[in-house]
Structure 1
Amino acid sequence: MTSDRDLLFVYGSLRPAFDGDMARWLAAAARHLGSAWASGRLYRLAGYPGFVPEGEGRVAGDLFSLPDPVPLLAVLDAFEECSEAFPEPREYRRERLVVEGPQGPVRAWAYVYARPVDALALIPDGDFLG
């Protein structure tokens, strides 16, 4: 049985439909469970999004099951620059949130944007790839 520590919600450059090295790596390293969404808002940064699980709105993404979560999350933490190896203030933090997956609500890890969003452009439909 999959525990919530084994699930990951992605909403940007890690999604399977995104053409990027890390998206391909994640698709090979984990099992894609399907489309998912989370409550919150999505903002446009340089060439990637930042998810803030506050406010009204839905953020589109994908849900993955991680077969060996500790080493996989360590690689992803380094990619998202949110591990202890990176100085504060970090751009992201990893936390577990309730997301709506293909089989209903589950708790999953997600990378949450951790800086002010006042000057950022909102992605109104909540879909970075839309």
Structure 2
Amino acid sequence: MPQQQRFEATWEVSAVIRWAPNDTVAALGRARQLDADLERAYADVDALEIAVRVDVAEGYHGMLAAQSAIESARLGLTAAREGYRVTREQLQAGIVNTTTLLQAQSELIRAQVDVVESAIGLRIAKATLLRAIGETP
């Protein structure tokens, strides 16, 4: 039909729809896979949340235990110092021999080492707790 100089109010629209039954089955399978992946991700988040709570609780209780240990070690050091002082006075008075003084000195050194080890344990416990709550030690 040749072109004409007049306008007619008619329109022509066309659309092409392609559909294959296999596409639907594949899409359903993919949707199920994505749902399973989402559920697995939620489970991973839950497990991570539990792990963080456990880490924080362990860090907190570890720090409490370390504080108790250092207090106990300091009391032991005070007792060992007093024991050494008394033993030294007894040696000067001739009541005990040098072997007894060496034993008291050994106990004093052991008590000093215990204080140092407890202080290290406290620093480690603090660092563990800080890491668990997300702070840099």
TM-score normalised by length of structure 1: 0.18
Greater gyration radius: 2
User: Which has the larger helix fraction?
Assistant: 2
User: Which has the larger strand fraction?
Assistant: 1
TM-score normalised by length of structure 2: 0.17
